[in-house]
């Protein structure tokens, strides 16, 4: 999936504002934030905090050719709450181009997941935030039912280096693969999507220098601590009613089919198929995202790496992931780069000790 700066990760603005899409203006909705235009370098107030939006607001923006609005940084929380509350209405609005709706989905998702992972932690995940996660997952699964939306999402999924960015990418990939499995019903799909989104939340309990360190540079003691993150994540969610399948995803995503994984050294027969799918999607997303596993690999290089790691990953899950990426036009059906001839992967990174570390 494509690499580049995230639309939700803009450079610092000296005016203390961040850009948002005019598409978020929903007639009759009330925003808990003020909206500004930028004209000739100056910020102009367009709608006050608490003001009810109207059709005229949106029409006037279109007439002016405005493509970006601005919100004060100190009102980001109100903006993100508004997005989460009205996300379903925005995504169902056929008058908005699909690319715009997917961008709004990404911004809302990033804001919520950042809030869950960074704010109020290391306290356990509370019921209120958990319900927001559940609603977000359901909205995402509905969006993923449209193949063209998956293609639009591909532009965003490898952007960012945080645990929560990785959680979003892993959730989307895992859900797309499981949607193609005949025996996965809606209840299991939702549970696995939640587990995929939260699978690395335990890393927020680790010292920053351990969580963000290149895996090959970890000492034996640091590695032991790092490998506690699946259990830490499950403990953090003990206060909410996560389905068993979601807990399996969180606890077992580093198990490997040859028994070399952790925390339990489970064999292939003990690993549920949905966990095997998550494990593949987790590592693919790690490989294509710069971070603890080294520089970002291309989709083809990442798939080649998974296929060469014989005995670690479920081969059927890899094949299904390739089909998903092909449908999203990220790679060809055989796993080659889309629109290019197959090539040898670049120099392998030494980041995949047994169990993927």
Dump pLDDT digits (tens) for 322-341.
999 998 878 765 556 554 43
| Triad 312, 227, 4: Cα angle to 5° | 75
User: SS3 letters for 173-216?
Assistant: HHHHHHHCCCCCCHHHHHHHHHHHHHCCHHHHHCCHHHHCCCHH
Highest CATH level, class, for 166-356? mainly alpha
Asked if residue 330 lies in contact with residue 154, where contact means CB atoms within 8 angstroms, the answer is yes
Confidence of residue 248 (pLDDT cuts 50, 70, 90): very high
Q: Give me the pLDDT at residue 290, please.
A: 78
Q: Using one digit for the tens of pLDDT, what is the confidence trace for 110-147?
A: 878 887 777 544 456 667 777 888 888 999 999 998 87
Rounded to two decimals, the pTM is: 0.81
Partners of 343 in the beta sheet? none
Where in the chain do CATH 1.10.3210.10 domains reside? 166-356
């Amino acid at each position: 999936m494509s690499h580049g700066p995230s639309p939700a990760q803009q450079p610092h603005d000296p005016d203390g504002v961040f850009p948002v899409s005019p598409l978020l203006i929903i007639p009759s909705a009330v925003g808990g934030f003020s909206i500004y235009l930028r004209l000739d370098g100056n910020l102009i107030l367009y709608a006050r905090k608490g003001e009810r939006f109207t059709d005229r607001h949106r029409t006037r923006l279109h007439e002016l050719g405005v493509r970006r609005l601005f919100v004060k940084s100190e009102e980001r929380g109100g903006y993100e709450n508004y997005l989460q509350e009205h996300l379903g209405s925005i995504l169902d609005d056929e008058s908005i181009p699909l690319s715009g709706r997917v961008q709004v989905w990404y911004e809302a998702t990033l804001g919520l997941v950042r809030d869950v992972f960074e704010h109020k932690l290391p306290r356990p995940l509370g019921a209120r935030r958990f319900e927001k996660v559940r609603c977000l997952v359901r909205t995402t699964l509905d969006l993923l039912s449209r193949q063209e939306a998956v293609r639009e999402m591909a532009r965003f999924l490898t952007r960012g280096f945080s645990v929560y960015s990785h959680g979003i990418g892993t959730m989307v990939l895992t859900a797309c693969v499981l949607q193609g499995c005949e025996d996965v019903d809606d209840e299991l799909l939702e549970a696995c999507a939640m587990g995929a989104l939260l699978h690395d939340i335990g890393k927020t309990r680790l010292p920053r220098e351990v969580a963000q360190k290149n895996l090959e540079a970890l000492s034996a003691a640091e590695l032991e601590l790092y490998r506690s993150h699946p259990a830490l994540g499950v403990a953090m969610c003990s206060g909410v009613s996560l389905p068993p399948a979601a807990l399996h995803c969180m606890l077992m995503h580093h198990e490997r089919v040859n028994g070399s994984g952790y925390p339990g050294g489970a064999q292939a027969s003990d690993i549920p198929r949905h966990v095997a799918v998550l494990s593949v999607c987790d590592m693919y997303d790690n490989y294509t995202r710069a971070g603890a596993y080294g520089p970002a690999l291309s989709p083809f290089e990442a798939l080649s790496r998974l296929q060469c790691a014989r005995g670690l990953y479920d081969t059927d899950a890899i094949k299904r992931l390739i089909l998903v990426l092909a449908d999203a036009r990220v790679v060809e059906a055989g796993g080659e780069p889309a629109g290019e001839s197959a090539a040898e992967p670049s120099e392998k990174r030494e980041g995949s000790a047994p169990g993927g570390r």
